[in-house]
Amino acid sequence: MSYKKLLMALVLVFSLTSCQVQDDIKPKQAEVKETTETNTDLKKYSAVFYDYFDTVTEFLVYANDEKEFDQYKEILEKDLKKYHQLFNTYDDFEGVNNIKTINDNAGKKPVKVDPSIIDLLEYSKYIYDVTDGKINMALGDLIGLWHDYREMSLADEKKAAIPSEEELKEAASHSDINQIEIDKKNNTVYIKDPDIKIDVGAAGKGYGIKKIVEDLKKAGLTHGIVSVGGDDVIIGENPAKYDGIWKVAIVNPDRKSDNPYASIIGLKDTTVVTSGDYQRFYEYNGEIYHHIIDPDTNYPSKYFRSVSVVHPNIELADALSTYLFTVDLETGRKVAKEFDAEVLWIDYDFNSYMTEGYENLEKKSED
């Protein structure tokens, strides 16, 4: 399976493919569909990056000329590299104290870090509180355990397995977020329990993209799209269309369906994030084991196949898409209303449920 490239005519691809994927082949999540209508003298440029956040990043810009586009592209790649390294859980980088550095020093000593890590961890504590502990950055040991089994199973089908109940119970027992001490004054982080590991997978990418887009807007970008894996930021209006609408197609998680899209919505100047059980997974004894773990069961969540969240704040949309994937529909609707988010849920029978506002976004795509 290969990455889909940007299509520069009728369809610009930011899509999540529906086939089984390994961790080193990262799919995308939504297609931004364009018509041949034009309402601008700006020129369209695009770029693709493969080296950051363990996924594919696609960048679409309407700019006056290539020089302007190159300026934005340079900012994007510089920031992608920065946050990829800082928020990395598995890799070391020379001269960089990152999340892995903090984890490696758990129970040993505080680690001095970049202020953005302090901000991210503070935000992660907020997300922990508003999700009643469901989204817990201290669950890194449990998440890492499933990650290791997935890696082993994908590398050799004969060795495919799932963690034992004893392993799961032990890993989950080291998840007290209060064991993580954040010193904002000195920019240090210390994990008191040596067996706790931080994982910022539910918020790190969204936080990084938020900071990246802030820098791009400061540099003058007013029309474009930044898509990092399943986190997509729609910047401004679509200058190629008189109504300014970007048409975004949410990919169908049903791999057997002839219809590649579950939904098409019309958006302006907002963000959309999709979490799905078809992103990173492996099969064992006929069961699918994906990467979104429910802390109530210590197993991959079984509520939905896909959850898409539309919200102006990419950082919040990123966390909400994960959280709503791990709770029932009734709870999810209450949370969506509380945070003023528009949501599409797709369950295991491929039934779709949506907020009223999401339905209106679908209608906008039909105009």
- pLDDT, one tens digit per residue, over 178-216 is 999 999 999 999 999 999 999 999 999 999 999 999 999
Query: Is the dihedral angle over the CA atoms 248, 253, 255, 257 positive or is it negative?
Result: negative
Give the helix/strand (H/E) hosting 84: helix 66-86
DSSP state, 246? E
**Alpha helix ranges (H) inside 238-350:** 314-325, 329-338
Whose tokens are 């050799």? That residue is: 156
- Residue-wise pLDDT for 87-121, tens only, equals 999 999 999 999 999 999 999 999 999 999 999 99
Q: Is the pLDDT of residue 272 over 80?
A: yes
How many C-beta neighbours within 10 Å does residue 166 have? 8
* Residue 192 phi, psi (nearest 5): -70, -40
DSSP-assigned states of every residue in 96-156? B--HHHHHHTTTT--EE--HHHHHHHHHHHHHHHHTTTSS-TTBHHHHHHHHHHHHHHHH-
Q: How far apart are the first and last CA of the chain?
A: 35
The answer to pTM > 0.85 is yes
Flag the least confident range among 9-23, 75-89, 141-155, 285-299. 9-23
SS3 per-residue string spanning 154-217: HHCHHHCCCCCHHHHHHHHCCCCHHHEEEECCCCEEEECCCCCECCCCCCHHHHHHHHHHHHHH
pLDDT in tens, 238-257: 999 999 999 998 989 988 88
CB atoms near residue 295 (< 10 Å): 19
